[in-house]
Structure 1
Amino acid sequence: MSAPSDPTRCPLCGQSNQCTQADPARAGQDCWCFTAKIDPAVLECIPPQDIDRACLCPRCAQSLPLDAPN
């Protein structure tokens, strides 16, 4: 089993996940993903070592291609 990814990076694309939980400067703030609706099929793509350890980025959470605007 490989080590978990950087908690500030999306485990699917490697871009910044904008997670407030992984940013000590924003500790105590709710993350954007707390209210996001994320397709269960996308969640199934997260590597096992990253489940509950690294947030998806908004783009991957919305199932958008990498070249789509945010």
Structure 2
Amino acid sequence: MNAPTDPTRCPLCGQSNQCIQANPATADQPCWCFEVRIAPEQLKQVPEQDLNRACLCPRCAHALPTDAPS
């Protein structure tokens, strides 16, 4: 059995995804990811149970190396 999805964590790397909508106080505001193109190869890596439940972090969304600034 898989652990419940944490909507504040990136499903690929586990770091904060900086999702505005995961915070109840700001859930009515658009997330940063609404304004960027997310690398399709990254979306294919998201586990099925996390699809539409947790955002990628900016680093993973852009397929940046782990040592690159987000």
Please state if 1:54 is matched with 2:54.
yes
Counterpart CA distance in 1 for 2:25 and 2:42 is 28
Q: Output the TM-score relative to the length of structure 2.
A: 0.91
Runs of 4+ with >4 A deviation: none
Alpha-carbon separation, structure 1, partners of 2:14 and 2:3: 15
Following the alignment from structure 1 to structure 2, what is the Cα–Cα distance between the partners of residues 62 and 2?
A: 26
Aligned to 1:66: 66
**What is the identity, as a one-letter code, of the residue corresponding to 2:60?**
C
Gaps of 5+ in 1: none
CA–CA separation in structure 2 for the residues paired with 1:4 and 1:41: 24
Separation in 1, partners of 2:4, 2:41: 20
The number of residues matched between the two structures is 70
Correspondence for 1:14: 14
Which whole-Å CA distance do the structure 1 matches of 2:67 and 2:25 have between them? Answer: 29
> Cα RMSD (Å) of the superposition?
1.2
Structure 1 match to 2:30: 30
Where structure 2 has 5 or more consecutive residues not aligned to the other structure, the ranges are none
Counterpart amino acid of residue 51 in structure 1: L
Q: Secondary structure at the match of 1:21?
A: helix
